[in-house]
Amino acid sequence: MHSLGTAEMAGHLAEKFGLNVLNAKIAGLLHDCAKEYTYEQMLELIKNKAIEIDEDEINSPKVLHAPLSAYIAKNQFRISDKEILDAIKYHTIGRIGMSNFEKIIFLADKIELNTRIEPCFELIRAELKESNNLDKTIFLCSKMTIKSLLDRNLEINFKTIDLYNYLLKNRNK
């Protein structure tokens, strides 16, 4: 249900921001295709296929599925479009320099309507509707993610911190 909702929201956002709707829907459908693997299975796949993963991603089972989903999309579903693969790879933690396509997949994952019903997701949807600005919305999302991780005493990925700091510095440009 989540992936279907993400595909639908990604298509909507792609249309709204003038991006490829079909590619957005494909990225939305495949963004979590490794999510059902156990952490041990993910580590085994990384080792056996020599997949390059950042150290802080390996230590975080919650985000490890993203680069693996990109690998599976490429190798099992035969997706060759770099834009789709990058959007899948960075949909959990983001990165500095994300394309608008990557940004809409990042946000679609957070605000899809099938499973994201908590009030925090409403705040993100409201920001996007009010500002119509992907960076402002991702800034709010990153801020909320960091706060949530801090409140639960969980590790924060360096790319998430870098993205937050970058958007903070550049939010008035």
44-89: pLDDT as tens digits: 998 888 888 888 788 787 889 999 999 999 999 999 999 999 999 9
Q: What is the CB neighbour count within 10 angstroms for residue 21?
A: 15
Dump the DSSP string for 63-93: HHHHHHHHHHHHHTS----HHHHHHHHTTTT
Q: What are phi and psi of 93, to 5 degrees?
A: -105, -15
Tokens 């495949």 correspond to what residue? 30
- Predicted TM-score (pTM) of the model is 0.93
Q: What is the average pLDDT score of the chain?
A: 93
Dump the DSSP string for 11-40: HHHHHHTT--HHHHHHHHHHTTTTTTS-HH
Q: What percent of the chain has pLDDT over 70?
A: 99
The full length of the chain comes to: 173
Q: What distance lies between CA 135 and its chain's CA centroid?
A: 14
